[in-house]
Amino acid sequence: MTKTPKVAIVGATGAVGEEMRLCLEERNFPLESLTLLASARSAGKKMSFRGEELTVKELTHDSFEGIDIALFSAGGGISLTYGPSAAAAGCMVIDNSSAFRMDPEIPLVVPEINPDAAFTHQGIIANPNCSTIITLMGLYPLHLAFGLKSIIASTYQAVSGSGAKGIIELEQQARAWAEGGEMIQEVYPHQIAFNLLPHVDAFLEDGYTKEEMKMLNEGRKIMSLPNLKVTCTCVRVPVFRAHSISVSAEFERPVSVEAARQAIASFAGTELVDDPANLKYPMPLDYSEKIDCGVGRIRKDHVFENGLALWVTGDQVWKGAALNAIQIAELLGSKRQQT
């Protein structure tokens, strides 16, 4: 790979793709050129990057010629169709979809948690599920301190997790409610404005959803904890951006709230906001467009013997997707510079 890579964003017009472009700019990511790819619908659209106007191109199998790093964010089908051929052409693929996450040959990486896994790649690295990343940013420091055994989690997932169309649906329904108009329901099976949907992704035969199983399967893979037990309920909430997770976790060793607070406060990428007396705890409005995830409401769990209850919030479009992918690229770049 050349020293200053040529980068492409696949799905550049989507909720995550747009934030990838912004994160590359804000983090001053060293690149020689940026190529924006999307479907034929968006070809020709102009988008700005570092003061220049770039034109979105239609994604084809020839799009990756000369590209060093491709950040994929256009859904699993597109990743499966174009990811392997891009990697075979010598392009480093960092994929945001669920297409490759559980492939044992493909690393699933959160740079603060399992950076070494990134260097085992064979051309493709998978970015984990957004709720899983944010939950683990709160849990992994506690795992290091006390040894994680099991989790019971409930998620509160923002509509931008469903892409740009989720944001439009909540906006339209809230406006229609205020103006007495008709609410349009296209993305979600029920009204999302002023409601909660205990349903994210497709239902499986055992009653869980695919999203809920990602917390179990991806959590085990990222933390190398094959025996970790997880029960999860994923809920879509009428919040525009940033997911929150309520977690009760059981540990191998005795816990203390003070040691847990210290572990969170000293972990890179996580901040402690835990001051109930002054009504301070992490909330989605405070964590939108924020790099760090927030952890608060840390207390002894009343069910588990060595248990803690906590609340984690993080920007799922950033740390749960675009930012984490770019941090992976930065990680690979820093290693290249050292060698």
Ligand X SMILES: NC(=O)c1ccc[n+]([C@@H]2O[C@H](COP(=O)([O-])OP(=O)(O)OC[C@H]3O[C@@H](n4cnc5c(N)ncnc54)[C@H](OP(=O)(O)O)[C@@H]3O)[C@@H](O)[C@H]2O)c1
- Alpha carbons within 13 angstroms on the beta-carbon side of residue 168 total 9
Pick between residue 13 and residue 155 the one whose CB is nearest to ligand X: 13
33: its two tokens: 């050129």
Are the CB atoms for 221 and 126 separated by under 8 Å?
no
- Give the shortest CB-294-to-ligand X separation in angstroms: 17
Between 83 and 296, CB nearer to ligand X: 83
116's tokens: 């070494």
Cβ-based nearer residue to ligand X, 274 or 292: 292
> Are 300 and 307 a contacting pair, CB within 8 Å?
yes
Radius of gyration of the chain measured on its C-alpha atoms:
20
Q: Would you say 127 or 173 has its CB closer to ligand X?
A: 127
Residue 23 is among the residues annotated as catalytic for this protein: no
Return d(Cα 7, Cα 50) in angstroms, integer.
14
Annotation marks residue 61 as catalytic: no
Evaluate whether 135 touches 110 at the Cβ level (below 8 Å). Answer: no
Please report how close the Cβ of residue 4 comes to ligand X at its closest, in angstroms.
Answer: 25
- The closest alpha carbon to 115, from 91, 140, 89, 90, belongs to 140
For residues 218 and 305, what is the distance between their CA atoms, to the nearest angstrom? Answer: 25
In the complex, minimum distance from the CB of residue 107 to ligand X, in angstroms, rounded to a whole number: 17
Task: Provide, rounded to whole angstroms, the least separation between the CB of residue 186 and ligand X.
Answer: 13
239 CB neighbour count, 10 Å cutoff: 20
Q: Point out the residue whose Cβ comes nearest to ligand X.
A: 14
Write phi, then psi, for 95 (nearest 5 degrees): -110, 130
| Integer Cα distance of 66 and 85 in angstroms | 13
Nearest to 159 by CA among 86, 236, 228, 230: 236
CA nearest to 246, candidates 339, 131, 141: 131
Nearer to ligand X, 134 or 308 (CB): 134
User: Can you give the binding site for ligand X, defined by CB under 6 A?
Assistant: 11-17, 38-39, 41-42, 59, 73-76, 78, 96-97, 130, 160-161, 163-165, 316-317, 320-321
Q: Which segments of 28-93 does DSSP mark as H helices, in order? A: 76-88
- Cβ distance to ligand X smaller for residue 12 or 67: 12
CB of 224 to ligand X, least distance (A): 22
**Of 130, 232, 234, 293, catalytic:** 130
Question: Residue 120 Cβ, how far from ligand X at the closest point, in Å?
Answer: 22
Active site residue ranges:
130, 243
